[in-house]
Amino acid sequence: MPPADVARVGAAGLVTRPLRAVLAAAGIAIGVAAMVAVVGISASSRAGVERELAAIGTNLLTAAPGRTFTGEAARLPDEAVEMAGRLDGVTGASATGRLDLGVYRSDLIPAGETNGIGVLAVRPDLLGPVGARPADGAWLNEVTRQGPALVLGAEAARLLGVHRASADVRLWLGNQWFVVVGVLAPAPLAPELDTAVLVGWEAARSLLGFDGGIGTVYVRTDPDRVADVRALLARTVSPAHPNEVLVERPSDALLAQEVTDRALTGLLLGLGAVALLVGGVGVANTMIVSVLERRAEVGLRRALGATRAQIRTQFLAESLLLSALGGTAGILTGAVVTWGYAWSRGWPPAVPGWAQAAGLAVTVLIGGIAGLYPAVRAARLPPTEALAAP
């Protein structure tokens, strides 16, 4: 029989009982939708991270003092930044230093309630290497970096309730008032800046008792030479004690980050598998009922000249169509869910082709397995007995 006739005869059984077909296919649709959505959302989140990284670059390295072999905090040489800047392949280098101070909205707030906001002394050329920029106000200039002025990280600004830089906005820091001259946009590669207030290196030394110790060296490299620079960076910033230097590439952490919740992913995948199983059983059950109800039809078809193989093919085709109906609906639903979720998170939506193909393959497999037994039973019906059925 030509494939078109096989499909038409297979569909005939479904068309006469549309509600039953929809209900039988629903389980498979839900299962496939859950799986496609899980894969799609994880792919979209990855696409989101990759797009972000493409914008901010993956060529930032950091070097920070670790511990000496006796367990004390190590200290980098004061010239570490300049030495790093001279390294072949480095396009920019800067540094911050940590101050053990709190910052407050007013002088009445008890010391210690810092909201986790740190205070960093910054070199004036910090923005270039870390890829940050002021969202409001300005960066520290010749004057402000010498005096009681500060720039807020994006998250710190939110926590302190400061949304605009202004001469009227002052924060209490180290027993004196500092003016907020700028607020930074989020810096994805240097999230430690987001939760800090930044003061000029000189101001920190003269006003806040900063000892000038380097906390983190930021190095931006030629994009093709990241690995070379990384290999030499520890020795460059601390020639005497390279093993006390912790070198990192912040974009690695971003890439490795599981943006989607692992537990939720596992739950959804498990739910999808159960739904597929239940869906398969549903299709098998529907097919068995269908064969029982249509004994007379089978007998008639045999009388019209259908071979056993043609009867078997008919019911197998019906089962495959039923399952494919569910699978297609599932893929569409999964794609829509992915689009919606990705849109709400600002990710580029991505439903990998392999996930759709896998969804369809699983569907066909289930339809084939579920339909096999009913189809064989239908083919074995003796035509006379089938015709005797009411």
Partner 1 sequence: MIELRDVVKSYGAVTALAGVTVRVEPGELVAIVGPSGSGKSTMLHLAGTLDRPTSGSVRVAGHEVSALSDRGLSALRAQRIGFVFQQFHLAPGVTVRDNVADGLLYTGVARRERRARAAEALDGVGLGHRLTHRPHELSGGERQRVAIARAVAGRPSLLLADEPTGNLDTASGAEVMRLLRALHDDGTTVVIITHDRELAAGLPRTIAMRDGRVAA
Minimum gap (Å) between residue 340 Cβ and partner 1: 38
CB 266 within 8 A of CB 35: no
Cβ neighbors of 332 (< 8 A, separation 6 or more) are none
- Check if the beta carbon of residue 278 is closer than 8 Å to that of residue 323: no
C-beta separation of 120 from 213 below 8 A: no
CB of 369 to partner 1, least distance (A): 25
Scanning the structure block, which residue is given the tokens 């930021």? Answer: 218
Cα–Cα distance measured from residue 79 to residue 82, given in angstroms and rounded to the nearest whole number: 5
Residue 312 touching partner 1 (CB under 8 A): no
Q: If binding is defined by CB under 8 A, does position 303 make contact with partner 1?
A: yes
Encoded amino acid at 301, one letter: R
Binding range to partner 1, per CB under 8 A, among 10-18, 114-122, 249-257, 316-324: 10-18
Phi, psi angle pair for 43, to nearest 5°: -65, -40
Q: Which residues contact 223 (CB under 8 A, 6 or more apart)?
A: 57, 58, 59
Q: Of the listed pieces 7-15, 183-191, 268-276, 342-350, which binds partner 1 according to CB under 8 A?
A: 7-15
Q: Between 132 and 379, whose beta carbon lies closer to partner 1?
A: 379
9 binds partner 1 (CB under 8 A): yes
- Selected range binding partner 1 among 93-101, 224-232, 326-334, 376-384, rule: CB under 8 A: 376-384
Is residue 265 a contact residue for partner 1 (CB under 8 A)? no
Q: Is 296 in the site for partner 1 (CB under 8 A)?
A: yes
Does position 55 interact with partner 1 (CB under 8 A)? The reply is: no
Residue 353 binding partner 1, by CB under 8 A: no
Q: Which stretch binds partner 1 (CB under 8 A): 50-58, 193-201, 291-299, 359-367?
A: 291-299
305 binds partner 1 (CB under 8 A): yes
**CA 190 – CA 169 distance, rounded (Å):** 25
Helix axes 295-303, 262-293, angle to 10 degrees: 60
Question: Rounded to 5 degrees, what are φ and ψ at 61?
Answer: -120, 150
User: Is residue 390 at the binding interface for partner 1, with CB under 8 A as the rule?
Assistant: yes
Quick one: which of 73, 252, 307, 361 contacts partner 1 (CB under 8 A)? 307
- At its nearest, how many Å lie between partner 1 and the CB of residue 3? 12
At 9, is the secondary structure helix, strand, or coil?
Answer: helix
Our measurement of the distance from residue 98's CA atom to the centroid of its chain's CA atoms, rounded to an integer in Å, reads: 31
DSSP string of 291-316, one letter each residue: HHHTHHHHHHHHHTT--HHHHHHHHH
Q: Which is nearer to partner 1, 109 or 296 (CB)?
A: 296
Which of 3, 15, 106, 142 is the binder for partner 1 (CB under 8 A)?
A: 15
Of 123, 220, 249, 301, the one binding partner 1 (CB under 8 A) is 301
Residue among 37, 306, 337, 355 that touches partner 1 (CB under 8 A): 306
Binding site for partner 1 (CB under 8 A): 1-2, 4-5, 9, 12, 15-16, 296-297, 299-310, 382-384, 387, 390
